[in-house]
Structure 1
Amino acid sequence: MAHGERYGLSIRTQLLSVTALVCAGFVAMAVLTFYSFGHIQDLTRTAIHRDMAEMTRNARIGRLFSESYASVGLLFSAFSPDEASLRKEGDRIVASCLSLLEEDPAPEIKTAIAGFARSLEVIIEDLVQASGALGMAAQARSGAHLALDRLTGAIQDVLHTDGRFRENSAGMDLDTAGLDMEVDAPSAPGAQDAQNAPGAVLAGVREKLVLADTLLGRVDLENARDPSRALALLEEIQDALPQFAALGETVAVRARDAADALAGYKNAARILSSSLSDLAVGMDGLKHSKDGAMAVMEGLDARNTETTLAVQNEIAGIIDSTRRMVFFSTAGMVAVLLATMGFFIKRIVNRPLRDILRGIESLRAGNLETPVRLNRSDEWGRIEEALNTLARDLSSSYSAIRESEKNYRDIFEKASEGIFQTTPLGRFYSANPAMARILNYDSPQELLAQAKDIGKELFTSTGDWEALVQGLLAAGEVRGFETRLQRKDAVVIWVSINAHTILDAAGDILYFEGTVTDITARKRAERRLDVLIRHLKTAVVDRTRKLSVKAAELEAANRSLTELDHMKSAFLSSVSHELRTPLTSILGFSKLILKDFERAFLPTAQTDPDTANRAGRIVHNLEIIANEGERLTRLINDVLDLSRIESGRMIWNDQAVDPSEILARSVDAVRGQFDGNPLVRLTVALPDDLPAIRVDPDRLIQVAINLLHNAAKFTPSGEVRLTARHLAGENVLRVRVEDTGVGVAPENLERIFDKFQQVKSGPTLEDKPRGTGLGLSICRQIVNHYGGRIWAESTPGQGTRVTFDLPLAPPHSPKPAAG
């Protein structure tokens, strides 16, 4: 039956209908509530806005009043005789006070602000006058101190020139800087008092002047009103000064000057005291104006507070009436809702629920074939159909579980691995036939009956059983646990156990479950493999020992070769030295004989043809001697260079150089060789902006000369070309020497860089050696020393191209020197 045909008005629809009626009442109540609260909000917004604006303005004005008053206080605390700065700061304070009128305050506050501003102007004027008086007092104070210092100096001069005071210096400290006057010792006590009288009086004068300075220097309003103490001290000082007239005319003049200066100081002090008194009176008036303004603002704030309280009382009344209305409306609506919901719950919930519970109890009892009958057309009908469907599904699931259990049992019985279940205490729950077969039992039942304690009866070591149990308890699972078990026939076998724990709903362990695999055959194979490995280790040790012996022999041979190399180097050095000395003499004498023969004998021999012919042969033989001597010298130099490089005794003067300059010098060195053969043209292409390289300049010149010299030797006619360029991608400098000479066979391209190697460049009978065979070998040694490489390319009959690469100098290397 379709849902549309069976189901009528749903429970949800019925409940919604009742709820709609209740909600209508709530809506009416909400409208009234919103109206009341809207009225309250309007009253509150108007009152608060007005009162807050007034209080905010008053608070701002009060703050500005306080700032102005504090600014005047700062002028007193930082009192300065600078009248311009005082007047400027005072004008700023007055302007700030008058700016309060722009806030549009109440009329009472406007009157208070105007009075406060007038008081400020009076105070500022009094402050400027007091500043001037303070400057006058400071100037007069300086004059008084200067006059007193001069008086002190005069008294000191008089006392030092009087012999009566030369031996006694005990009581004449005339100033605070520690002035000591030596006087003669008196012959009587009266004389001693007479000597001490000027010093005592002068010390008293200074103490009183310092005290008067202290009293007058405190520029505060309280002390400025009563300057009598300071003026009395100045009077006492002025009265004491005539006492010094007895010390002489000079001291009397200085005393009168000091008295005049003190009179000026007293007059300035009186003026300063009068100014400060006026200033104190003005400050009292300013404080009174400020207090009056603050009292006016406090009255306005009190009035605003009363207005706010009245509004609050009105709002409280409206809230109380609204609260009562909401309470009674809510109570009525809740009563109606509860009565309606009780009726519907009894009709459409309680009765069907009892029938549903009876059906569920029937299902729990296992009666899956008896359907639930409610005969309703609402949601309870859907629940009825769902329960009946659940019963049918449970019936199908139980059938599937029984089938799955049958399949599991088949796997359990027919598995090739042993499957077991056991308690943590070592007692079997179950075991499959494979498990019994592995342990040589006739059946699983026999195994379960006889094996009461697995750890003691089956494990050869109870420690292994305890380790297995501890692993399961700690991790819940053990994989590949290898141990030995004892079969029924007492045969010990190796097995591998995989096991895990089975827990109940509370998380407690029910039992262990796992599989057992017989790995005895694998263990036997592993033992055989261990034996083989031990034999291999023995063989490796023996072979290692033999290799060690051979290595020692090779090391000894290497030491011998090293000694031979050192001996070779020493021999070459000695031989070269022994050969150079006679060679130098032979070359020198042969050139000298050739020069003298050509100058003295050859011209006279031209008259006789036979003599001229013999003279020509003599010249030719002398030239052969010189050329062969020079060739032998070059051979010695090449051998020495190669020996130094190979032995590491070559001195490398590495520096950052300009490759264009070095290669140009090499070209200049071989230019004569090319000039002597007009059939060969030398072409040079060297860019000016080649990057610097770090090499020994002499060694680079040696490489370039060798390559150019070889190219010239093996190029009867044609061109020799020298080029250089920067390979940016590889960060190297590439130098190349190309010629159009006889070329080199491909199989000889590597041999030409070996020591003492020369290849045939023409017919065997005509081609004879043209050098030592060391030049290219030395070039390769030099290029390899700098981490570069050198190679040759050639086509026989078309020429040879020799190229070498050198790395560029590091970026931090110093730039090459110019020239």
Structure 2
Amino acid sequence: MPFAAFIRRIRSFSLSIGQLTFASFILLLAMIVMTSVASVISIRHIDTTFAELQRLQSLGDVAVDIDRRMNELRLAARDFVTDPDARPERVGAAASALSALLKKTRLELAPEQQDMIDGVTQRLANYREGIERVTALIARRTQLVAALPPVRERFEQAIADVPDRETARSLFRMQNQVAEALLTHDPAAAEQAAQRMRALAINQPALRGAVDAYADAIISVSDTEAQIAEIDKDVLGIEGRQIGRVTELLREVSASRGRLLGVDFAKTLAHDKWQSIILGTLGVLIGLVAALFVVRRTVRPLKAIATAIRSLAAGKKDASIPATDINNEIGDIARAAEVFRRTLVDADAAREAAVHALAEQRLAEESYRKLFQGSVDGIYVTTPGGVLLNANPALARIMGYATPQGLIEGISDIAQTVYVHPAARAEYQSLMQRDGMVREFEYQVRARDGTILWLSDSATAVRDDRDQVIRYEGTVRDITDQKRAEDAIAEGRRLLQQVIDTVPAVINVKDKQLRYVLMNRYMAGIFGVEPADAIGRTTSDLMSRYGAQKTDENDKRVLASGRGLGFYEEEYLDSQGKLRQWLVNKMPLLDAEGEIERIVTVALDIGERKRGEQEMRKAKDAAEAALRNLRETQNSLIEAEKLAALGRLVAGVAHEVNNPVGISLTVASSLERKTALFAAEVERGNLRRSSLSEFLETSRDASSQLVANLNRAAELITSFKQVAADRNYSDQRTFDLGDLTEQVVMSLRPGLRKHNLSLTVDCQPNLTMNSYPGPYGQVLTNLFLNAVAHAFPDGKPGAVDIQVRASGKDNVEIIFSDNGCGMSLDVRRRAFDPFFTTRRDQGGTGLGLHIVYSIVTNRLGGRLDLDSEPGKGTRIQIILPRVAPLEQAAE
């Protein structure tokens, strides 16, 4: 069929107006149905997006709840680690609550989010394991600290008994360092001080044991503290941060997913908007095509109607339809068109209004439901009479009920059932009646299980048209833990004040403005005020009341340097005008950011110690002066003893020399008389041969006796001169020990006959020494005189024996022994002590053997040994080096 013929056939086809109207209505209805279906689909998508956003909001709330529970666990763990009185049950309860929350949350999450919860669970297990380890270490630390006081008392007693005060002062300083380190919670410094204490050289076994025991106890406590700190840092701190990181990731995932859903929601709204526009436009276009079709079929009779319909199709919805008053079919069509126009305008407006109202209603309902159901605070609606009308899940949980409905059914009268004090309900109603609202109204309630809770209530009164209160709407917060914390803080401050009030030392804490925030009663007594009256005031304020002054320069130095000043001494006047001396230490207290928040000061009254030190210095000066006088007296006595010994030696030598000189004098006198008689006979001339022979014989005998006695006197004088020269000159020289011993003994022999004693000398020949002969002679003289004075009392006869021989290659041995009365054990122990004598009533000075000991050990560089028993005599062994040490030369 030709195309032109087909077009002509289409144009020749005609329909009635009823048919055209019915077809147009059917077409319009189809477009409306399509638009409605598209709107329903869009609304369902929006509902799904809202549900997902709600779930993500719930997930964010869960992350906040997990973070809150984790903070409670970390606070409980921190209190448990730092507070010795904290109970581990609080940590276990916080961990159990967090674990239950994680299990409940995991069931509500998507599979890809459950891994995060599993990670938190594993970290929580590690956290619990760290708490168990810390619990064991804290128990061990408690045992070590409990065992420390007796060890410290033993240590301090041992220090008090030690005679070496330098060692005692060193140990006291190290003990102060240990105490300072423990006070500042520095276990490493305490352990170092204990190690230095152990390394100190101590010879006393008792002190050594006490020091080692105390150092071991301190090291054990420090090691335990270090292990607790290490677990706190490496396990509790790291695991806590990891758990916090997981909750942050959970919130980040929720936020990221929320942003994606927000973008999708915006796209959905844009899509629905353009879909409505397109469908509306498409409907209009289809209607226009239908109208054009109808117009084409009724163009002449319906020209005016077509024109109006065109205006309507062009968007002029306020244009009127002509020919509506015609009563024929065209009029019906015109009237129908007018009705359609109006219907279309009203439908569009109604549809837009309905969609807008529906969206606002759903948004409001969803927001209120989310706020009501998801609020962490309790929400309630009650009547003035005390009937609970509505409650949210949070309020039910606070009051111990599983559901809000159970709470509503379980409470009949709020004033009698819930309020612990009905007067609080009366005050609540009075405030509502007066102000129409309450804000942060606190009161106590009784939960379902009888537990007393503290609630903070904020509510508003709702009134009717007659201005009568018909209900109360409000929110409550559980502040029981806050109240308990406040009570605990108040109790802690009270206990801290009581503890520091019992310490006999100045303890105070200042803020950064150098005003007191804490002061113990001991310090308040110094200033003459009550501790509470000193809070908020400065040192200058307190001291200016009684005219004293004190600067805060040391506190400012702590603020400037950020570290403690160490111990220093300070003095100032107290409220009684008395000058007080103190040993002070100032330390900064830091906040969480490491900034100085407070300054703590501890001071000990050292006035008594200062006065003791002053008295000790005076006593020391007096003792040193007495020691100098004693030494001068001792030196004078020693010199006097030396002179006395020399005098006795001179007396003996003079007596011995007197014998040969007297004999020589007698012989010379006799010879002189014989010579005079012989000369007289010669002058008389009657000299006989017998007289000459007798004279010659007498002369020979006299000459022989004179020569022998004078030689004896010369020998004695030569020996005495040598001994005297050796004693007067302390120069070191080389000599034969046997010859020197014989010369000394020769000067001592004159006293032997007088005391009925015998002296035997056995000297090994050729014993050459390079030493000091004078001091050696002094030693032999003092030993001999001491034996004569003490070994043979009452003039009993006895024997003295001197043996001199070599002792090895470089030494000689001198043994001086007697068979006298001997010495007792007590006398033998003190024989060489200065001024010790058993004959003080007979003029003994007690310096004889002390001089011997000093010369042998100091001047001659040797050693000596005394062996004596009562009734068995005395034996003194002297070992001398052949060459005296040079450093011993100048005594």
TM-score bucket of the superposed structures, by smaller chain: under 0.3
Could you say which structure has the greater relative contact order, defined with CA pairs below 8 angstroms and 6 or more residues apart?
Answer: 1
Task: Give the TM-score normalised by the residue count of structure 1.
Answer: 0.28
